[in-house]
Amino acid sequence: MTDSGARTAANIALATAGVAAAYVIITTPPLRRFVLRAARVWLGASVPVYLASQIRTAWVESARAA
C-alpha cells in the first residue's frame, strides 16, 4: 500500500467513525443533552480566552506602531 493509499484509508476510517458517533449522539437523547451541555461549557470557556488573547496581541502591536 502506498503512502497516499494509507492516508486515504485512514481518512475514510475516521470519517466513518465520526458519522457513526454523530448518529449515535443524535439518536440518543441523554447523549445529545450531554454533548450540547459540554459544547456550551467549552465555548463559554474558550471563546472569552481567545478574545482576551487577541485583544492583548492587538494592544501590544498598537504600542509598537506608536
Cell of 38: 459540554
Where exactly are the structural domains of the chain?
3-65
Give pLDDT tens digits for 4-36. 999 999 999 999 999 999 999 999 999 999 999
35 burial (CB, 10 Å; 0-12 / 13-18 / 19+) is middle
How much is the pTM?
A: 0.60
Q: Are 32 and 25 in contact (CB under 8 A)?
A: yes
pLDDT value at 51 more than 70: yes
Average pLDDT, the chain: 93
3-state SS class at 13: helix
Q: Are 40 and 46 in contact (CB under 8 A)?
A: no
